[in-house]
A and B are shown apart, each in its own frame.
Chain A
Amino acid sequence: MSEIKDRGYAHPDALVSTDWVAEHLKDPHVRIVESNEDPLLYPSGHIAGAVEVDWTRDLNHPVRRDYLDREGFEKLMRRLGAGRDTTVVFYGDRNNWWATYAFWVFQLFGHDKAKVMDGGRIKWTKEGRPLTREVPSYPASDYKAPERDDKRIRAYRDQVLRHVDKHGRMIDVRSPAEYTGERLHMDEYPNEGALRGGHIPGAANIPWARAVNPDDGTFKTAEELRGLYEREAGLKAGDDVIVYCRIGERSSHTWFALTHLLGYGQVRNYDGSWTEWGNLVGVPIER
């Protein structure tokens, strides 16, 4: 795969290579954060010095379906020993699916000193780089966060409804079977069911993982990404775009690609996604 700087990205600084991370393992201004789908992975071995942000425990409100609030984010960052000036580098399993989700949540609090390690865990391990089970401990910081800003990069259902009314651009990043409504949910899976199948009218279907190279999990070049989102899905730079999936995590990956790699200025993630839309009474659905 080509160097990050040679791939034509709008904001190449949003990505760092595994080499870069290896060179910054002891950089006090950098905090490496692992965020995985599988909660067993971090404790079974992680990059030396990396801390864990767990999508189920650390990013969500403990009771409501919502993200953590300002106080919760401050508490998290203090535990990680990170300040406003700390560069947070995310990486994880599943082609950085959960890493970009954590990245997106951090952006709700404006922590823009954030990057993603291109290729994530799979690339790091395929390169034979070391992992450790030693969990690091950092002195607590006095992190002060602004209030969460839900306007810029997050969409709620009423905003999505208005977006549908004005034929706004949308990307559904789920699998084709979910998009067509062929697969609704799994019988044995209690957490993410929906009563109706299909997609939000007007949404194009570009499954999230098409943005990465399957061999090493690195992001495709800007030209390849434009092929997907512009030539295939019909987006144009400058479009107001909403992305969604089932609970808003896969779509964070696409949000990252559109916002940081292609430089789109108005991309919002509808985290209610299909588990909300597919259960709402009376909203339009296309199959």
Chain B
Amino acid sequence: MPDLPEKLAQTLDALALVPDRGERIQLLIDLADRFEEVPPRIAQRPFSSLNLVPACESQAYVFNEPRPDGSLDFHFAVENPQGVSAKALAVILEEALSGAPPEQVAAVPQDIIYKIFGNELSMGKSMGLLGMVGMVKDLGRKAAERRRR
């Protein structure tokens, strides 16, 4: 299995250094505050249902933009104004996986959400966040296949 993308590994290491739940929550809120929606040149409302994360309560959408080397830039939209966790995860995925080798993106373990948010996630919350990672992984897998051809 390929290693974790470098930036993602760094992000997870940094989060692991914040064991206090309150501090970690604040860190994640700060990340969510940096969220920037998918630029209009990539997608505009109404967003395609093909980009909608299944079972995500926050109505998160995932988009990608290929780079010349075959890697991807990731973009997100989160329609639910209460989707703070979805926005925090979107910022992490966008910043840590954009430009990473698609093979590594495809191999990212879905359970990184528990490393990011902790194990005390409700089932509903988990489904949406797992779905976001799953969609990004799938885009990585397709990009890796294109590069192999």
Q: CB of B92 within 8 A of chain A?
A: no
Whether A37 and B125, one on each chain, are in contact in the complex, defined by CB atoms closer than 8 angstroms, is: yes
Q: CB of B32 within 8 A of chain A?
A: yes
Whether A93 and B111, one on each chain, are in contact in the complex, defined by CB atoms closer than 8 angstroms, is: no
Contact with A along B109-134 (1 / 0, CB 8 A): 01100100101111111110010000
Interface size on B, as a range, is 20 to 34
Which DSSP category, helix, strand, loop or mixed, fits chain B's interface?
Answer: helix
Contact A191 B123, CB 8 Å, known A40-B32, A43-B25, A44-B32: yes
Contact A38 B32, CB 8 Å, known A121-B82, A122-B82: no
User: How many A residues touch B, CB cutoff 8 Å?
Assistant: 23
Complex: chain A residue closest to B29, CB-CB: A44
Q: CB of B105 within 8 A of chain A?
A: no
Interface Cβ pair total, 8 Å cutoff: 59
Q: CB of A190 within 8 A of chain B?
A: yes
Whether B25 and A39, one on each chain, are in contact in the complex, defined by CB atoms closer than 8 angstroms, is: yes
Tell me which residues across on chain B come within 8 A of A37, comparing CB atoms. Answer: 122, 124-125
- Which of B26, B110, B119, B120 is A43 in contact with, Cβ under 8 Å? B26
Contact with A along B53-65 (1 / 0, CB 8 A): 0000100000000
Q: CB of A94 within 8 A of chain B?
A: yes
- Which of A38, A56, A190, A246 is B84 in contact with, Cβ under 8 Å? A38
Expressed in whole angstroms, the Cα–Cα distance for A241 and B120 within the complex equals 30
Contact with A along B32-76 (1 / 0, CB 8 A): 100000000000000000000000010000000000000000000
Whether B25 and A188, one on each chain, are in contact in the complex, defined by CB atoms closer than 8 angstroms, is: no
Residue contacts A-B, CB under 8 angstroms, 8 given: A57-B120, A94-B57, A186-B123, A188-B110, A188-B111, A188-B130, A189-B123, A191-B123
Residues of B near any A CB (own CB < 8 A) = 21-22, 25-26, 28-29, 32, 57, 81-82, 84-85, 88, 110-111, 114, 117, 119-127, 130
Given A38-B125, A246-B123, 16 extra CB contacts under 8 A: A37-B124, A38-B82, A38-B85, A39-B21, A39-B117, A39-B120, A40-B32, A43-B25, A43-B26, A44-B84, A55-B122, A93-B82, A94-B57, A190-B114, A190-B119, A191-B121
